A and B are shown apart, each in its own frame.
Chain A
Amino acid sequence: MRTDLRHSLNEGMNNLMTWRNRYSKTEYPEKVVLNIFYRKYTMEFMFPDIIGCYEKNLLGKPKVKWNDFNEGFQKLKTTYGSTAVSKTQPVLLNLLTNTQRNVGNTNYGIFTPLISEAKSGNKAKLEEIEYAYLYYLLTDECVLLWGAFGGTGLTKIEAIGKMSGLIIETEEIKTYGQIEQVLGQLCAAAYLKEHYKALPPNV
């Protein structure tokens, strides 16, 4: 099975178009990046809930938390929403002052030169930021899906296989950075390669 990310991609595109109308051309690149990190920090903060979906029972077998995968996905989405408001929002700007602090596999410092070039009219850099926003949006959506699969009794590797259609060998997944890298490459990047249509330059 290949994960169907079309609704997430559409949602991401709609968000970018909305923000293009909402913010000025100089504000826009920074706001998109801010949103990337708002999401990433939220994912990091709630990662214990995600990895907790792979709890084992007393016999060492995967614990079934829900029979319906959608039920688990909705629960994780709700947790995501409440974490974003209660934990991320109050501290985000403070966290971003440390530009080298990694969240997942990236940090704000990577984006600061992109922001300033995009602000000064570099169209390619703006597209890079927009692509990064979509890539991380899709990746994080996959991470939530991966958690939801865990609650149905699948192992971590089985869930990755179900989502990507690939059988992989990997070290024990324990961190947000690890699963973000795997699903980003196998699911999000592969999906975007086929379906991404760049927005026109922001004039």
Chain B
Amino acid sequence: MSNEENLRAALHHLMGLEEHHGFFDSYQKDKEIKTSSDLEAFFNAFKAHMFNKGKWNNELEITLKIIKEQSDIIKHQNTDSPIFSVNKSRKLDDSWIIEFQKEFQQCLTGDKFVEEIKPRRYKTITENLILYGVDGVKLSEVYSKYSEFNHPFVNYSVASVLYNAKNFSNGLPILKEGIKSIASYPNHYWNNEFGIEGAAWMIGDLLYLLGNLLDKNNLRSEKIKLLKLLFLYMSRYIYMTKSNLKSVDFYSNRARIVKSNYMEFIGIFWIGVNPDIQFISDMYLAHQTGMNNGLPMFTKPFDQFYWDSMKMYRHGSHIPNSSGGYQEIEDRTWMELVRDGEIRSIMLADKLLKEFENYELNISNSTIDNIFSILFETKKDDLENYIKKISERKLNKTEK
């Protein structure tokens, strides 16, 4: 049976109940049923009505679930832009992730370290990373508790702690398993925000760790696939959450990814698309998303997104100059370019989703094994030296 037939049959069953007619008539006197949310509210009220009469049973409960689930599926099938659509009936229950986050926080030792970002991205600004000390034994216990879920957010959270501390032998295998679960269609966590978030950061980190190793090892097509997947997952997060506060990170990082892989993205977009315009757009949208979510307009470090977008528009660069930038090259205003970039990003994300669903972006397990064996050859453990080095730049030094 098709989804439409399933929905019709379930509706027919519920609406055929003797109690339905009377209830529907009286409900309609007070409330309108125009949208799918109105319909859901109506059925919930009907359920409560039947429950109070002692007539609600398991069969009706299942019927109601089928109505909701089939409506969701049909709505999802008919959407013009599935990248925005969350199919609740196919969302895996990952509510336990809140518990994981709490336990993960408890692994922090309270120590903070500072590390300068190099190479510097700005002429006059020094950027620092704040690193938090983590208890390795506790982290290992938390990971073993949650590893069976193979959840991208868990994999990313745990693996990134390890490889950022130069503990590659423990961090990279977790990253590899995580990448295997998200680098081919379908991704079981496609309808889960935390799943998409973890997937995006894992691919971003993998590309960062690889540097130019993929090009050097004749794996350029894999690099392009990873960049496409990264753009897709970042966009999915932004659109599925309707640009929530965390989307600030996704917009700004999407801008940086496109800018720092300029030539690749000229190919990934289509002829005539200038990745700098995408940078102007995404940086501005990062700033705007922050404001829309209640961040004060000009607060550090979020105001930097605004200036980055404006500088790229006026100077075609991070560094102010007298070239005239895109203000002169393009015959359009700053905000016109922001909107153009926004629309192009949505179009590209839709196109990439089609490619993903058509299995064109799949990276096989054997290719992933190969990529990681290359990575293992170049990344040697250096945990002790690294800890010694960052200990010199500890922020909250405690007397022993």
Q: Are B69 and A22 in contact (CB-based, < 8 A)?
A: yes
Q: Are B150 and A200 in contact (CB-based, < 8 A)?
A: yes
Q: List A contacts of B88 (CB < 8 A).
A: 21
Known A13-B186, A13-B188; judge A200-B89 contact (CB<8 A): no
Q: List A contacts of B96 (CB < 8 A).
A: 203
From B62, B90, B94, contact of A18 by CB (8 A): B90
Within 8 A of A (CB), among B89-107: 89-94, 96
Which partner residue on chain B sits nearest A81 by CB separation?
B1
Indicate whether B149 reaches chain A with its CB closer than 8 angstroms: yes
Q: Are B188 and A18 in contact (CB-based, < 8 A)?
A: no
A6 to B358, CA, bound (A): 9
Contact with B along A172-203 (1 / 0, CB 8 A): 00000000000000000000000101011111
A89 to B398, CA, bound (A): 72
Which of A81, A123, A200, A201 is packed against the most chain B CB atoms within 10 Å? A200
Q: Are B65 and A22 in contact (CB-based, < 8 A)?
A: yes
Which partner residue on chain B sits nearest A15 by CB separation?
B90
Contact with A along B277-308 (1 / 0, CB 8 A): 00000000000000000000000000000000
Q: List B contacts of A202 (CB < 8 A).
A: 93
| Number of B interface residues in the complex (CB < 8 A) | 24
A195 to B365, CA, bound (A): 9
Q: Are A197 and B181 in contact (CB-based, < 8 A)?
A: yes
| Number of A interface residues in the complex (CB < 8 A) | 20
Which of B69, B73, B185, B188 is packed against the most chain A CB atoms within 10 Å? B188
Indicate whether B66 reaches chain A with its CB closer than 8 angstroms: yes
A31 nearest CB across to chain B (Å): 10
Q: Are A197 and B188 in contact (CB-based, < 8 A)?
A: yes
Contact with B along A8-23 (1 / 0, CB 8 A): 0010011001101111
Which partner residue on chain B sits nearest A21 by CB separation?
B89
Indicate whether B56 reaches chain A with its CB closer than 8 angstroms: no
A6 to B91, CA, bound (A): 20
Indicate whether B59 reaches chain A with its CB closer than 8 angstroms: no
Indicate whether B151 reaches chain A with its CB closer than 8 angstroms: yes
Which partner residue on chain B sits nearest A14 by CB separation?
B90
Q: List A contacts of B150 (CB < 8 A).
A: 200
From A21, A81, A85, A197, contact of B90 by CB (8 A): A21
Which partner residue on chain B sits nearest A123 by CB separation?
B148
Contact with B along A118-132 (1 / 0, CB 8 A): 000001000000000
B360 nearest CB across to chain A (Å): 12
Q: Are B148 and A21 in contact (CB-based, < 8 A)?
A: no
Indicate whether B51 reaches chain A with its CB closer than 8 angstroms: no
Q: Are B151 and A200 in contact (CB-based, < 8 A)?
A: yes
Which partner residue on chain A sits nearest B151 by CB separation?
A200
Within 8 A of A (CB), among B128-158: 148-151
A14 to B62, CA, bound (A): 18
Which partner residue on chain B sits nearest A199 by CB separation?
B188
From B65, B90, B188, contact of A200 by CB (8 A): B188
Q: Are A10 and B90 in contact (CB-based, < 8 A)?
A: no
A21 to B90, CA, bound (A): 7
Indicate whether B23 reaches chain A with its CB closer than 8 angstroms: no
Within 8 A of B (CB), among A99-145: 123
Q: Are A201 and B148 in contact (CB-based, < 8 A)?
A: yes
Q: List A contacts of B73 (CB < 8 A).
A: 18
A23 to B96, CA, bound (A): 19
A6 nearest CB across to chain B (Å): 6
Known A22-B66, A22-B69, A81-B1; judge A200-B186 contact (CB<8 A): no
B112 nearest CB across to chain A (Å): 34
Q: List A contacts of B92 (CB < 8 A).
A: 17, 20, 199-200
Indicate whether B359 reaches chain A with its CB closer than 8 angstroms: yes
Q: Are A18 and B148 in contact (CB-based, < 8 A)?
A: no
A21 to B185, CA, bound (A): 21
A sample of 10 inter-chain contacts (CB < 8 A) reads: A6-B359, A10-B186, A17-B89, A18-B69, A18-B89, A18-B90, A22-B89, A123-B148, A200-B149, A200-B151
Given contacts A197-B184, A200-B150, 17 further A-B contacts (CB under 8 A): A10-B185, A17-B91, A17-B92, A18-B73, A18-B89, A20-B92, A21-B65, A21-B69, A22-B62, A85-B1, A195-B184, A197-B188, A200-B92, A200-B149, A200-B151, A202-B93, A203-B93
**Interface of A with B (CB < 8 Å)?**
6, 10, 13-14, 17-18, 20-23, 81, 85, 123, 195, 197, 199-203
